[in-house]
């Protein structure tokens, strides 16, 4: 049994949709006050309304993680609303596809700006508040794509997700004396609103590549993030947890067809 996180406060960037919304919901269900951030106000409002019946305060703030001033405003708001900040889930991300021969400098900059720099900016903004909490937690949403696997069209995206882990390993050392841990969840193929829009055939095709035989849920990622946020995980830092139903394990198509 883990010690209750009731009354702690978390920021979830990109918490209005998909995996971020799943993380927000799991945290709110555990009694953690959550500040959800994203750029689209309507999506924020919908999520905040949908999560209102949990035993914690869930609120929203429109902010762009590519802007360090926005990130500072997010942290100030969390502290103002809840009296402190304990957990940062750096989850906001984009995944536009583009083959190597077609990628423009702007395409590359855009993906790195949100996925990599946005991660660094929100963590930097939160350092003082997380130090003050005495048990600060940073949880990054990276991916299997980049750190472990590759997929045509996502070379720049994969690089941005691997960059998060390079950042993590040194930042975790710097933050350890402040009792702040920093870890990453690496999702496989997770069922989000965006994936559902691609249709059942597409989802079936993706699920066929997973030994578990199904796509992951946003709660699967939320639960992994929640574990890193617990007091019992205080001695774990700089680590990555793959949550993918075994997707990265088969050494060939043949291995899957033997099931
Ligand atoms: P999603 O459904 O598209 O949600 C992305 C969230 O990030 C939204 O709330 C979006 O809101 C926000 N966001 C995007 N750009 C932002 C910015 N510049 N500033 C602030 N917020 C921003 O995506 P998802 O599939 O849940 O992905 C979430 C994370 O999981 C990403 O880091 C992604 O790389 C990672 N991931 C996803 C999967 C998967 O299977 N879904 C697998 C591996 C890793 P706004 O657009 O309103 O800003």
pLDDT above 90 for 45: yes
Which residues form ligand 1's pocket by a CB distance below 6 Å?
13-14, 16-20, 38-40, 43, 64-66, 91-95, 114, 118, 141, 143, 187, 189-190, 192, 194
d(CA 203, CA 190): 10
**Closest CA to ligand 1's atom 9:** 14
How much is the average pLDDT of 146-172? 98
How much is the average pLDDT of 37-52? 98
Per DSSP, 231 falls in state: G
pLDDT above 90 for 181: yes
CATH 3.30.1640.10 matches 9-189+218-243: no
Q: State the pLDDT at residue 72.
A: 98
Q: Which atom in ligand 1 lies closest to the alpha carbon of residue 190?
A: 40
Sheet holding 181-187, edge to edge: 58-62, 33-38, 9-13, 87-90, 137-141, 181-187, 240-243
**Closest CA to ligand 1's atom 34:** 93
Residue 216 pLDDT class (50, 70, 90 cuts): very high
Q: What is the pLDDT of residues 102-131, one digit of tens each?
A: 999 999 999 999 999 999 999 999 999 999
Percentage with pLDDT > 70 across the chain: 100
Cα-trace Rg, the chain: 18
Mutate to test the pocket of ligand 1, among 24, 89, 93 (most ligand atoms within 8 A of CB): 93
Which neighbouring-strand residues pair with 241? 185
The interaxial angle of helices 68-82 and 118-133, nearest 10 deg, is: 30
Respond yes or no: is residue 157 known to be catalytic: yes
**CA 17 to ligand 1 center in whole angstroms:** 7
Q: State the pLDDT at residue 198.
A: 86
Q: Please report, for the chain, the start and end positions of each structural domain, with discontinuous segments joined by +.
A: 9-189+218-243
Q: State the pLDDT at residue 194.
A: 87
Q: What is the pLDDT of residues 49-69, one digit of tens each?
A: 999 999 999 999 999 999 999
**CA 94 to ligand 1 center in whole angstroms:** 5
Assign 3-class secondary structure to 113-168. HHHHHHHHHHHHHHHHHHHHHCCCEEEEECCCECCCECCCCCHHHHHHHHHHHHHH
């Amino acid at each position: 049994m883990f010690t209750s996180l009731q009354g702690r406060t978390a920021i979830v960037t990109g918490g209005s949709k998909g995996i971020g919304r799943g993380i927000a919901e799991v945290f709110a269900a555990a009694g953690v006050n959550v500040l959800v951030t994203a750029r689209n106000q309507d999506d924020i409002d919908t999520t905040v309304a949908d999560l209102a019946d949990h035993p914690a305060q869930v609120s929203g703030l429109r902010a762009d993680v590519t802007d360090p001033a926005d990130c500072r405003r997010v942290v100030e708001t969390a502290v103002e609303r809840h009296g402190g900040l304990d957990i940062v889930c750096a989850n906001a991300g984009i995944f536009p596809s583009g083959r190597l021969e077609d990628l423009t400098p702007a395409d590359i900059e855009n993906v790195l700006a949100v996925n990599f720099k946005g991660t660094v900016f929100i963590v930097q903004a939160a350092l003082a508040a997380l130090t003050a909490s005495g048990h600060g937690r940073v949880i990054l949403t990276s991916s299997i794509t980049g750190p472990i696997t590759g997929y045509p069209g996502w070379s720049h995206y994969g690089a941005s997700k691997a960059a998060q882990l390079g950042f993590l390993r040194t930042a975790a050392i710097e933050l350890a004396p402040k009792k702040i841990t920093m870890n990453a969840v690496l999702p496989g193929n997770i069922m989000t609103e965006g994936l559902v829009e691609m249709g059942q055939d597409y989802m079936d095709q993706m699920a066929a590549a997973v030994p578990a035989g199904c796509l992951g849920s946003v709660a699967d990622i939320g639960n992994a993030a929640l574990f890193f946020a617990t007091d019992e995980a205080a001695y774990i830092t700089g680590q990555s947890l793959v949550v993918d139903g075994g997707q990265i394990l088969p050494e060939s198509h043949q291995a899957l067809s033997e099931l």
